[in-house]
Chain A
Amino acid sequence: MSDFAPFIPWIGTVLGVLCILGSLRSGKRKRLVDDTPTSKTTGVFIGLVEVKGSAEAAQPLISFLAERTCLHYSWSVEEHWRRTVTETYTDKDGRTRTRTRVETGWTTVANGGETIPFYLKDDLGAILVRPDGAEIEAQQIFARTCGAGDPLYYAKGPPGAIMNSTFTRRFTETGISLHAPLYVMGQSRERQDVVAPEIAQDKAAPMFLISVRSEEQVSRGFAWAYWLWGFFGLALAIAGFVIRDAEAGLDPGTRLLGYVLAGFGFILAWILGWVWMVFNSLVGLRQRVRQAWATLDVQLKRRHDLIPNLVKVVQGLRDHESNLQTELAELRSQADATPPGVAGPDFRGLARMTIGIAERYPELKAQESFLELQRELVNTEQRIALARGYFNEIATFYNTRLEIIPDRFVAPIARLRPQPLLAATDFERAPVEVQFAE
């Protein structure tokens, strides 16, 4: 038995535990994707948000290989090599023999890429996204393998060749094209330049993902990763014991019970890990439901503080303008009251000036202020509606989690209660009667 043998099961177990952790991480991310409602760009609040839209930029990049307008590209050039290795070895009869072996592979000879901040645009507006530090799942926009005779070989690749080169190169590029539909999940924060939020990297945030895939595809990807990591870990853990027994010369067939026990131990650890992950996820979800309620409160307070003051400004302007109109009317009547041909100052000439002034102060200048007030009323109510909608969606995700199997068995550990949704009161459901007459 080699010196390593007693350690192999330990190594297998440690690797298995690492696989459990990887599987749980995918499980946590799948839950985040599933249980975070999609925000509209104008409804983005400061926190972990999920937004969907098309990628836009005023000055997009041109990708290196495909030469496509894009906001992100990443390219690489790999060169193929082949070498023949001659080695000596001792065979089972003790004789020294030589054999030759052919090794091949690809080596990256050049790579690069660029990413710029962009706007994610949906039907209501756009929000700035700073992709530095994000996981970017891009589209493949260029893939070609060619030989040295092809003009691409040296046009977009480095001169010269690597050792043992077969003069075959593989050019690949992934990127995010302009106007590409994107799925973004990340932390939003206040911008430094304007009074608006932006999505950017936050080390403490659980996720920052920019993907060309849809939400369903991303979620399914995490589900696959969860199960694959788990079963891979199971295989590693059991393999540790199998290899140890094989090294010790024992027939694995006789030790099946031991392997089954090891397998059960692994699955038990996986289940405990799952309970831990679900507990933390549900606790986090409850906090985010409360955060959604508080976001609604912030918008309501904004409305309460802003609208009355905007109304007062419009009233002030209206009063001011009506004063001016009085003065102007006075001016006009004075100009009309001077009979022509009377000696003295040329009131006709001055009257022209006066009427010119009157024309530049038309009556409806206050309309701009009224329009601004109307716009802000609509904007304010829409922010409130978006916040209410978001709260209802996330509360529904939360309530659903408390009922479905198997999450409902973990919920009591955290003492979680269902959250009532927001509904319109009866009088608010009735159609609104618009009245202009007093």
Chain B
Amino acid sequence: MTAILLVLGILLGLALLVGLWLVGIYNGLVRLRQAVKNAWAQIDVQLKRRHDLIPNLVNTVKGYAAHEKDTFERVVNARAKATSATLPADKIKAEGELTAALGKLLMVAEAYPELKANTNFLQLQGDLTSTEDRIALSRQTYNDAVTRYNTDIQVFPNVVVAGLMGFKEEPLFETPAEQREAPQVQF
């Protein structure tokens, strides 16, 4: 009698262990699938950042370029006014405007070379590149999460649990065919 109870006890213990092990596999698969969803959301975070940031960066650069062009125009116009003024009073006033405009331009050119608009353009190029790099890294992280998950639902013995509990393969990041070609650089 005790022998039967002992055997039953051992079998029950084994069944419990196997059950816990299967639950462990299931939980692992759930975590990996959640990681895939999270990684997809992280790509969206980077895309949203690009969507919100780049237009404003471009407008800032345009604004500064317009400001720089404006500063130059003031000098040219002030000079033309100084040349065409005939009355001494007008000439003095015009010369004052010209000196002020020139001074502003000189200050930008000499004291703050980094305020030149071409620096902003270079900075914009760097920001565009780093934004695309962040997006690329986040897509790679997504691909890795998908690869780990797809591998884990196909190895033995997880494949049994995955089949029973309805875990499906997730898709990797794919570029549409027309976007795989090299863009033409033309000036």
Which positions in A face B, CB cutoff 8 Å? 45-47, 189-190, 195-197, 204, 276, 279-280, 283-284, 287-288, 290-291, 293-295, 297-311, 313-318, 320-321, 323-324, 327-328, 330-331, 334-335, 337-338, 344-345, 350, 353-354, 356-357, 360-361, 365-366, 368-369, 372-373, 376-377, 414
Which of these, A328, A334, A368, contacts B118 with CB under 8 Å?
Answer: A368
Q: Can you list 23 A-B contacts (CB < 8 A)? A: A276-B156, A283-B154, A287-B151, A295-B143, A298-B136, A304-B175, A306-B128, A306-B132, A314-B121, A316-B61, A327-B75, A330-B76, A331-B72, A331-B76, A345-B92, A350-B79, A354-B75, A357-B75, A357-B109, A360-B109, A361-B116, A369-B118, A369-B121
Cβ-defined contact, B130 with A350, below 8 A? no
**Count of interface residues, chain B, beta-carbon cutoff 8 Å:** 69
Q: A293 vs B174: C-alpha distance in the bound complex, in angstroms?
A: 9
Name the A residues within 8 Å of B137 (CB-CB). Answer: 46, 190, 195-197
Interface residues of B in 127-157 (CB under 8 A from A): 128-130, 132-141, 143-144, 146-148, 150-151, 154-156
B16 to chain A, nearest CB (A): 20
A422 to chain B, nearest CB (A): 12
Q: A272 vs B91: C-alpha distance in the bound complex, in angstroms?
A: 102
Interface residues of B in 88-143 (CB under 8 A from A): 91-92, 94-95, 98-99, 102, 105-106, 109-110, 113, 116-118, 121-122, 124-126, 128-130, 132-141, 143
Which of these, A45, A314, A338, contacts B140 with CB under 8 Å?
Answer: A45
Which of these, A195, A331, A354, A373, contacts B125 with CB under 8 Å?
Answer: A373
Q: A357 vs B82: C-alpha distance in the bound complex, in angstroms?
A: 19
Which of these, B54, B109, B148, contacts A204 with CB under 8 Å?
Answer: B148
Name which residue of chain A comes closest to B69, CB basis: A323
A28 to chain B, nearest CB (A): 11
Q: A276 vs B143: C-alpha distance in the bound complex, in angstroms?
A: 26
Whether, in the assembled complex, B183 has its beta carbon less than 8 Å from a beta carbon of chain A, the answer is: yes
Cβ-defined contact, A366 with B110, below 8 A? no
B149 to chain A, nearest CB (A): 9
A150 to chain B, nearest CB (A): 53
Known interface pairs A331-B75, A354-B102. Does A288 touch B175 (Cβ–Cβ under 8 Å)? no
Name the B residues within 8 Å of A46 (CB-CB). Answer: 137, 140-141, 143-144
Known interface pairs A195-B130, A294-B174, A324-B69. Does A287 touch B182 (Cβ–Cβ under 8 Å)? no
A-B pairs with CB below 8 Å: how many?
Answer: 195
Given contacts A301-B139, A350-B102, 12 further A-B contacts (CB under 8 A): A45-B140, A46-B141, A287-B147, A290-B147, A291-B146, A293-B172, A294-B143, A309-B54, A331-B72, A350-B79, A354-B75, A369-B125
Cβ-closest 8 pairs across A and B: A46-B140, A360-B109, A294-B172, A327-B72, A317-B121, A345-B95, A297-B175, A280-B155
Whether, in the assembled complex, B83 has its beta carbon less than 8 Å from a beta carbon of chain A, the answer is: yes
Known interface pairs A276-B156, A320-B117, A345-B91. Does A291 touch B147 (Cβ–Cβ under 8 Å)? yes
Name the A residues within 8 Å of B118 (CB-CB). Answer: 317, 320-321, 365-366, 368-369
Name which residue of chain B comes closest to A377, CB basis: B185
Name the A residues within 8 Å of B62 (CB-CB). Answer: 316
Cβ-defined contact, B121 with A313, below 8 A? yes
Name which residue of chain B comes closest to A317, CB basis: B121
Q: A318 vs B132: C-alpha distance in the bound complex, in angstroms?
A: 23
